[in-house]
Structure 1
Amino acid sequence: MVYVPRFGWLLATLILAGCSTQGTLSQKEAEAEKEKALEQQQNKPMDVASVVRRTIPASVKDREGWAQDLATTFSSQKLSPTLENICSVLAVAQQESNYRSDPVVPGLNKIAWKEIDKRAERMHIPTMLVHTALKIPSPNGKSYSERLDNVRTEKELSAIFDDFIGMVPMGQRLFGSLNPVRTGGPMQISIAFAEQHTDGYPWKMAGTVRQEVFSRRGGLWFGTYHLLNYPANYTAPIYRFADFNAGLYASRNAAFQNAISKATGVKLALDGDLILYGSSDAGTTELAVRKLGASLGMSDRDIRRQLERGDSDKLEETKLYREVYRLAEKKNGKPLPREVLPGIKLESPKITRNLTTAWFAKRVDDRRAACMAQN
């Protein structure tokens, strides 16, 4: 039997442990290098048109048109043409329209008639009188009721309402000058948003901004502007997708509402609405923040003024934002998130299922990930 000194065992153990540690470090370093390479690949400028051609299914009509329109969109808005950005836009377009500039909406005729009857009831106008008025010929020769019975897309419906409002006194009485079709195009962008963001639009419009939204190029341009053309300190694209559905900075604001709730003990709906826009009244979030007024050293007026920055990145520069998080994290005993998917149920005549903003954002994010894996 060979005698091995006790320190020999210790030496051997240390050598083996050293090898094991060295191997673990190497594995971690390799993973870090892999992540770094992946990040560099994702942030590398790409040819927008080429990515679109590789991603959009061959069954989509005029794939080259999609490629060129999105390439022009990125260049005119001076957006970074990273794979993540390109795939984010394509993911929204796929989710909202399956790459159709003017998608067919099932049962749209019934939705339209229901909206008209609802407006008539609200204005105390007999529905029979409204339906009779809709039997007169419209500018294209067909009666309004005939066009409504056969309407299939929002573009068609928007045109009907434009004619109805412009040509028939009953139309102005029911709708004023406001066309009730509020979204459209391949990314289902808000028409009101598009009308407010026309600077830099690269194509000459043949008609109105509303009509341009229903085109492929217009829908892509305004939709991309809404999705990517604002600064946000998000850690993942999914929060932009939630904002696209719920409003700019909704994910940041929902996280802030969570901090307000932690600091005050007041249960709040994490919907991203910090104030009642269009009203001087205080909503539930504003009332909750007022409870912290003394701790914050802020008046109700100061609180309101800083909450009004909730539709921009400037909110994060306010004393209110910093101090609410400080108080909330002190009370909670740990850091709180700066981004949360808003808890909003989607409401629309076109939606027949129980869907939420979080559902929408996750669906789009899955499509973005598939697009990136494909490229």
Structure 2
Amino acid sequence: MWLAALIALVAGCATQTVESPGLDPAKVQARIIHALPAGADDRAGWARDITAAFAAQQIEPNRSNLCAALAVAGQESNFQSDPAVPGLGRIARAEINRRAAAHHIPQLLVRGALALHGPDGRSYADRIAQARTERELSRAYEDFIGMVPLGRRLFGDANPVHTGGPMQVSVAFAENYAREHDYPYPVDGSIRHEVFSRRGGLYFGIAHLLGYPADYPSPLYRFADYNAGFYASRNAAFQAAVTRASGIPLAQDGDLVSYSLGERSNTELAVRTLADRLKLDDGEIHRDLSRGETAAFAATRTYARVFALADRLQGKPLPRATLPTIRLESPKISRKLTTAWFARRVDSRYRSCMTRMR
């Protein structure tokens, strides 16, 4: 409780201070203001919310960590708390039509449902067509799902807007994180709503970027993880080691196990072919690989023995981190982009920020 009270002070009044690991909050805010691009609006507000997020999560606000957070926010939103998405209404309507077709719902019925008027007096069709930001679209979907029977049939309880805010953080991640950690602000309706605010989007985005231990040789791999999931860069390097040891080509996507009941991933099947040489049984291999989204996987016998075998065959140590090879898929993306592209773009911003902060 004491930490939440202190965060409320720094978030609510720029003249108040809060204990923050390593540095005086006023100096942290000054560093951030200096590093923000010239065109950013409300620079003091951005600095205050970033400083509060670091303090709430007890993350050291050193130059590298601050620049990592600024680099992701710059890449994802250009420092817009609720960034506009070109063609968002068209994208949303296409998704509704796709789901209707999958449920064999006639378009006449869809158009009739969207013609109904919501709480703000506009039809759902108009609200969706006029939505410029994911916050506006998410609120329209919430009302449509909650008030129109066809909305629940199309979407169930799942709002199809999955990311939002200045760091484009996953709503599911934020909701899970808030269940296990004290959120330092009053919640405006729901954690989903908080994600679309500057303060909430930064808080949860910084947690996703920096709130887990990773012994990487460069922040580049954290940036890839931000896009692909915790430890994706470490796991992609492990998959490369499995390929070197077994000769079986694997996608270096960072996914070590299959989450479909009863199925085994290609990575697990490839490791199983090495079971005798690793002196491990299939059960232990599966248990170890199931820890792939945690720091604990690097301490397992499967991880250590695969790398020991691959290093010996290679004649030198293989990298323990590599950029995952993942194609980015989203209705918002019209170009052929990858996780590696994202990580390098963010890394370029990070390096520029580090230069400015000197």
Common fold, TM-score beyond 0.5? yes
Where in structure 2 are the equivalents of 1:270-281 lying within 5 Å? 270-281=252-263
Distance (Å, rounded) in 2 between the aligned partners of 1:216 and 1:108: 20
Paired residue secondary structure (1:197): helix
CA contact (8 A) 2:238 2:303 kept: yes
**Contact 1:77–1:200 (Cα < 8 Å) also in 2:** no
The number of residues matched between the two structures is: 333
Higher gyration radius (CA): 1
Deviating 4+ runs (over 6 angstroms): none
Give the letter for the 1:83 counterpart.
Answer: R
1-structure distance, mates of 2:50, 2:308:
43
1:116 correspondence with 2:96: yes
Query: What do residues 196-220 of structure 1 show as CA deviations (whole Å, max 9, x unaligned)?
Result: 1111321111210000000000000
SS in 1 for 2:144: helix
Task: Choose 53-62 or 174-183, whichever is displaced more.
Answer: 53-62
Q: Could you say which residue in structure 2 is the equivalent of 1:99?
A: 79
State the 1:304 CA deviation.
0.7
1:283: Cα distance to partner?
A: 1.1
Q: Normalising by structure 1, what TM-score?
A: 0.87
Tell me if 1:159 matches 2:139. yes
Aligned partner of 1:204 in structure 2 is: 186
Partner of 2:207: 225
Match of 1:331 in 2: 313
Query: Equivalent residue for 2:159?
Result: 179
Q: Which residue of 2 aligns with 1:318?
A: 300
Structure 2 partner of 1:367: 349
Alpha-carbon distance in 1 for matches of 2:302, 2:170: 31
Displacement of 1:57 after TM fit? Answer: 2.9
Matching residue within 53, 61, 74 for 1:81: 61
Partner of 2:327: 345
**Does 1:250 pair with 2:232?**
yes
Is residue 245 of structure 2 the alignment partner of residue 260 of structure 1? no
Q: 43-52 or 80-89, which moves further after superposition? A: 43-52
Partner of 1:70: 50
Give the structure 1 partner of residue 148 of structure 2: 168
8 Å CA contact 2:63, 2:354 repeated in 1: yes
User: Is the 1:341–1:358 Cα contact (8 Å) retained in structure 2?
Assistant: yes
Partners of 2:257 and 2:265 within 8 A in 1:
yes
- What is the deviation of 1:91? 0.4
Do 2:22 and 2:60's aligned partners in 1 also have CA atoms closer than 8 Å? no
TM score, norm. by length of structure 2: 0.91
How far did residue 279 of structure 1 move?
A: 3.3
2:231/2:293 contact within 8 Å kept: yes
For the Cα contact (< 8 Å) 1:48–1:70, is it kept in 2?
no
Separation of aligned partners in 1, 2:188 and 2:232: 34
User: 2 CA distance for matches of 1:368 and 1:247?
Assistant: 19
- TM-superposed CA distance for 1:278, in Å, is 4.7
How many angstroms apart in 1 are the aligned matches of 2:198 and 2:283? 45
2:216 corresponds, among 230, 234, 241, to 234
The reply to whether residue 139 of structure 1 matches residue 119 of structure 2 is yes
Q: Deviations over 1:59-105 (max 9, x none)?
A: 32211111111111111110111101001000000000000010000
Identity %: 53
Q: Could you report, residue by residue, the CA deviation over 1:142-199 in whole angstroms, capped at 9, with x for unpaired residues?
A: 0001111111100000001000000000001000000000000000000000001111
Which segment is superposed worse, 125-134 or 80-89? Answer: 125-134
Range moving further from structure 2, 327-336 or 360-369 = 327-336
Q: Between 293-302 and 68-77, report the one with greater CA deviation.
A: 293-302
* Distance in structure 2 (CA, Å) of the matches to 1:44 and 1:302: 41
Residue 48 of structure 1, CA deviation: 2.1
In the alignment, the residues of structure 1 paired with residue 210 and residue 191 of structure 2 have an alpha-carbon distance, to the nearest angstrom, of 20
Instruction: Measure, in 1, the Cα distance between the counterparts of 2:131 and 2:108.
Output: 21
Residue number in structure 1 paired with 2:12:
none
